[in-house]
């Protein structure tokens, strides 16, 4: 499955193996050359003589048919994608979809069978054992679902363990480990042992250990899935804030759609070792590629993913600062409106001008409309989530103005628009409309 849309054929893999792949258009990915992680035509086949899978008679068979006829199990099937700098890229799928196998191939904890794999421009597949070890120690870190803490090491020692393996001196190790523990909110717990900590705190130690080496890339394999729901949500919220601080490139594995939607900049949905769709969360929800993706997203709350930008409309009528009361009244009468949003020459939001206001100003002989006289609902940011707008929309009589950092009026939000965005028709309803 190609994230770019088409694949090259005949790409040479180190060692002389030729990768042959077929055109595909199911997933999309950035065409830019700045990708930190780049995967093309990646396969992992488990079993004896895995090369048989690439014979013409077997290549088009399903995962189940391949296993029945060859005894080989396809863990990853012709996967391609890029990960951008500072992106949080989510691999999501059910158990057995290949997501954990895929993330492990990125650092060759599992050796890929075929394909191209580069990280920061380095050909990971071509690395020697020594080069691969150095790469793992300095450029990339992995956080697992099982925390993997050493029970006889303190929190500080566990956090510094990767630095110890790397050969850093004790003073440097402790300084970096303490800084990493402070980043994840565990200052004061340095001398405790893992059995004194809750599950959420142990996971923080695992994350601190990964951060202490200051890697360019973090790989996270279902790090929160073993935690209680309340602790899990708390760690998700903290992780969003943490990513804003550290700005790492992250590949994150989960089977939980809500977690993927909450954390991911882009999501790759996997099935039977293949990537079915790669897209941003809003695109996944609003335009699922097929019935498999649609089934995943059916119960998802779009309110926690869609933003004000998604549901805003253009204002039906606009008044301008330089218009006097009589000109404003003429426009309102012409448009059969009792009020309208007013902006200045740079289209910056000023407020709402009502017909009652202009009537009063005309009676008083005023020739100008002052901004202070306008009704002014507080504007909202275009990236605020729909779920945070419910109270605001319901509390006022007017639509909400959406403005950017310069105060420019981008659009308005009406309750109707939010309800329409939250409504997801089922397949039967869509079929009846066709």
The C-alpha atoms of residue 263 and residue 114 are separated, in whole angstroms, by 30
Predicted local distance difference test score (pLDDT) of residue 359: 92
The C-alpha atoms of residue 412 and residue 314 are separated, in whole angstroms, by 6
Minimal CA–CA distance to 225: which of 185, 270, 248, 255?
Answer: 255
Q: Are 70 and 47 in contact (CB under 8 A)?
A: yes
Predicted local distance difference test score (pLDDT) of residue 391: 62
Do β-strands 18-19 and 37-46 pair in parallel, antiparallel, or remain unpaired? unpaired
Is residue 282 packed enough to be buried (19+ CB in 10 Å), middle (13-18) or exposed (0-12)?
A: middle
Instruction: Give this prediction's pTM.
Output: 0.65
Predicted local distance difference test score (pLDDT) of residue 41: 93
Give me the domains of the chain, ranges plus CATH numbers: 309-420 (3.10.580.10)
Predicted local distance difference test score (pLDDT) of residue 30: 42
294 token code pair: 């649609």
Q: Are 98 and 15 in contact (CB under 8 A)?
A: no
The C-alpha atoms of residue 60 and residue 56 are separated, in whole angstroms, by 8
Predicted local distance difference test score (pLDDT) of residue 396: 56
Give the number of other Cβ atoms within 10 Å of residue 247's Cβ.
10
Tens place of pLDDT for every residue, the chain, 434 residues? 333 222 222 323 333 332 333 333 344 444 444 889 999 999 999 998 888 888 888 878 888 888 888 888 999 999 999 999 999 999 998 888 899 999 999 999 999 999 999 988 889 989 999 999 889 888 888 888 777 789 999 999 999 998 988 888 999 999 999 999 998 889 999 999 998 888 888 888 988 998 998 888 999 998 887 777 767 777 888 888 888 888 889 999 998 887 888 888 999 999 889 999 999 887 888 788 888 887 777 655 555 556 777 778 888 888 988 888 898 898 899 888 899 999 988 889 999 999 999 999 999 888 888 877 898 888 988 888 777 776 665 555 788 899 988 899 998 887 766 655 555 444 444 444 44
Q: Give the 3-state secondary structure of residue 92.
A: strand
Do β-strands 409-413 and 400-403 pair in parallel, antiparallel, or remain unpaired? antiparallel
Predicted local distance difference test score (pLDDT) of residue 187: 92
Residue with tokens 């926690």: 304
Is residue 151 packed enough to be buried (19+ CB in 10 Å), middle (13-18) or exposed (0-12)?
A: exposed
Predicted local distance difference test score (pLDDT) of residue 139: 87
């Amino acid at each position: 499955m190609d994230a770019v849309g088409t694949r090259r054929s005949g790409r040479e893999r180190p060692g002389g193996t030729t990768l042959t792949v077929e055109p595909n258009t199911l997933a999309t990915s950035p065409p830019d050359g700045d990708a930190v992680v780049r995967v093309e035509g990646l396969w992992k086949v488990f079993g004896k003589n895995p090369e048989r899978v690439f014979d013409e008679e077997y290549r088009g068979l399903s995962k189940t048919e391949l296993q029945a006829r060859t005894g080989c199990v396809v863990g990853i099937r012709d996967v391609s994608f890029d990960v951008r700098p500072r992106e949080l890229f989510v691999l999501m799928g059910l158990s057995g979809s290949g997501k954990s196998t895929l993330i492990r191939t990125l650092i060759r904890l599992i050796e890929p069978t075929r394909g191209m794999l580069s990280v920061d421009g380095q050909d990971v597949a071509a690395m020697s054992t020594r080069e691969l070890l150095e790469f793992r120690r300095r450029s990339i870190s992995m956080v697992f679902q099982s925390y993997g803490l050493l029970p006889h090491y303190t929190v500080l020692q566990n956090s510094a363990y990767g630095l110890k393996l790397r050969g850093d001196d004790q003073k440097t190790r402790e300084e970096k480990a303490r800084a990493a523990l402070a980043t994840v909110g565990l200052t004061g717990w340095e001398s405790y042992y893992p059995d004194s900590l809750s599950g959420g705190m142990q996971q923080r130690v695992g994350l601190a250990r990964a951060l202490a080496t200051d890697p360019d890339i973090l790989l996270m394999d279902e790090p929160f899935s073993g935690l209680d729901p309340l602790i899990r949500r708390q760690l998700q919220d903290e992780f969003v804030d943490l990513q804003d601080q550290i700005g790492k490139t992250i590949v994150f594995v989960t089977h939980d759609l809500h977690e993927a939607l909450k954390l991911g900049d882009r999501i790759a949905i996997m099935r039977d070792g293949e990537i079915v769709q790669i897209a941003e969360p809003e695109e996944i929800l609003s335009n699922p590629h097929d019935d498999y993706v649609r089934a995943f997203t059916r119960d998802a709350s779009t309110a926690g993913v869609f933003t004000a930008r998604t549901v805003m409309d253009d204002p039906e009528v606009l008044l301008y600062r330089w218009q006097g009361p009589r000109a404003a009244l003429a426009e309102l009468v012409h448009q059969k409106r009792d009020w309208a949003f007013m902006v200045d020459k740079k289209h910056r939001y000023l407020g709402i001008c009502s017909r009652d206001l202009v009537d009063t100003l005309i009676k008083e002989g005023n020739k100008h409309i002052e901004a202070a006289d306008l009704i002014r609902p507080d504007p909202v940011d275009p990236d605020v989530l729909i779920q945070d707008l419910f109270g605001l929309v319901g509390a006022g009589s007017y639509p909400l103005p959406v403005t950017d950092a310069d105060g420019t009026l981008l659009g308005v939000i009406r309750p109707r628009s939010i309800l329409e965005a939250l409504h997801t028709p089922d397949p039967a309803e869509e079929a009846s409309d066709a």
